[in-house]
Amino acid sequence: MTRLSTITLARDEEANIAACLDSLAWADERIVVLDPRTHDRTAELARQAGARVVARPFVNFCDQHQAALALPENDWVLSVDADERVTPELAAEIRQAIAQPSPVGWWVPRQNIIWGRWIRHTGWYPDYQLRLMRRSRVRYDPEREVHELVIVDGQVGHLQHPLIHYNYRTVGEFLRKTERYTLLEAGILAKAGAKPRLRSLVGQPLREFWRRYVTYQGYRDGGHGLLLSLLMAYYRGLTYWRLRQLVG
């Protein structure tokens, strides 16, 4: 049987790490890459669950993921965040997928649970993520410091069973992450030579709201869809405002 390692990046994840690793108990090796800025019991709970914990200074998400690829004993790796869970059905499908000689990477759908509800529209499902891969045939795009992009040398496929993602639990959590991620995204746009125009500060949020609420049928998610569409419009507007601050 082809062996599989899992990689989980973690910082202050004591509320999630045990359940995450428990959903990965079927894997041959489990690795937690710990951000040394962690102040809680993440490392202790991960070791208790049988995972190997490796502390590494955090530069950005791309850098951390790329460094993590050098750690596993096995070529096949599955990247899982601490707030995600692998179901038995997905685990069985993964075992079947890695037994094949090709593809060398697999897109995994995600079922996002936001504010206690599965969001079926608004651009949040199926939310495919390239998480299952042969580490010898992939690398992370260094230009994408957040919302990482995996570059694959070979054919990719799509799995059917979803990864369960316990995403934002509160609006406050969404806003806190927005503060962090928009800074990173503005930096990426600046490096790419993007030139913010005044009309972008209005046009980009409006287009994002339309895309989420109308094109992606966010209205079918009820109040959750409306609020998410508004928040994603705010996210886009804040990104361009910060880009303007960076490049003038």
The string of DSSP codes covering 144-205 is -SSS--EEESS-EEE-SSPEEEE--SSHHHHHHHHHHHHHHHHHHHHHTT----TTHHHHHH
**Do both 78 and 19 map to the same domain?**
yes
**Do both 51 and 144 map to the same domain?**
yes
Q: What is the per-residue pLDDT for 159?
A: 98
Query: Is-contact 133 82, C-beta < 8 A?
Result: no
**Do both 17 and 94 map to the same domain?**
yes
**Do both 180 and 208 map to the same domain?**
yes
Q: What is the per-residue pLDDT for 198?
A: 84
In the chain, the amino acid numbered 126 is P
Token match 């369960």: residue? Answer: 164
**Do both 115 and 227 map to the same domain?**
no
Single residue among 119, 134, 166 that ends a domain in this structure = 166
Q: What is the per-residue pLDDT for 204?
A: 94
Q: What is the per-residue pLDDT for 192?
A: 86
- Could you tell me the CATH number of the domain that includes residue 18? 3.90.550.10
Q: What is the per-residue pLDDT for 144?
A: 80
Query: Is-contact 136 243, C-beta < 8 A?
Result: no
Number of separate domains in the chain: 2
DSSP state at residue 221: G
Domain extent for 190: 171-247
Burial letters for 152-180: b for 16+ Cβ neighbours within 10 Å, e otherwise?
Answer: beeebeebebbbbbbbbeeeeebeeebee
**Do both 8 and 92 map to the same domain?**
yes
Q: What is the per-residue pLDDT for 188?
A: 87
- From the list 19, 173, 172, 11, the residue with the least C-alpha distance to 85 is 19
Single residue among 131, 166, 201 that ends a domain in this structure = 166
Query: Is-contact 38 61, C-beta < 8 A?
Result: no
Identify the segments of the chain with pLDDT beneath 70: none
**Do both 82 and 40 map to the same domain?**
yes
Q: What is the per-residue pLDDT for 160?
A: 98
| Rounded-to-10 torsion of CA 182, 141, 166, 183 | -10
**Do both 25 and 132 map to the same domain?**
yes
**Do both 110 and 203 map to the same domain?**
no
**Do both 181 and 146 map to the same domain?**
no
3-state secondary structure at position 26: coil
Single residue among 166, 190, 209 that ends a domain in this structure = 166
Q: Which residues contact 195 (CB under 8 A, 6 or more apart)?
A: 247
**Do both 128 and 180 map to the same domain?**
no
Q: What is the chain's mean pLDDT, rounded?
A: 95
**Do both 201 and 87 map to the same domain?**
no
Rounded to the nearest 5 percent, the helix, strand and coil shares of the chain are 40, 20, 40
